[in-house]
Amino acid sequence: MKLEDKVDLLNKFVKEWFEKNNRTEAKPKDLMPCLIDKEVYKKDNKNGNPLRSDLRKLKRLKMLHLIEYLEIENKKQNTYWNFRKK
């Protein structure tokens, strides 16, 4: 699946996840079971690594603004990825 297609699916399923779970924030590992059920990803490894990997690709391409609920916190060595309902 192309990264651009995943962006659309991520926005759709993250929104659904927030509505279903009645939460206002989530980490990639929280979203992975839903994204696997919806067949965006085949499996999870390292608590959300497939999603974080795609987010890193989007960051390199300067396309993170396409993910609606994403909030990032850049540190010296790491980036913390969080999703927050607006």
CA 74 – CA 72 distance, rounded (Å): 6
1 pLDDT band, cuts 50/70/90, is confident
17 pLDDT band, cuts 50/70/90, is very high
Residue 18: how many CB atoms within 10 A of its CB? 19
pTM of the shown model: 0.91
Question: What residue spans define the domains of the chain?
Answer: 3-84
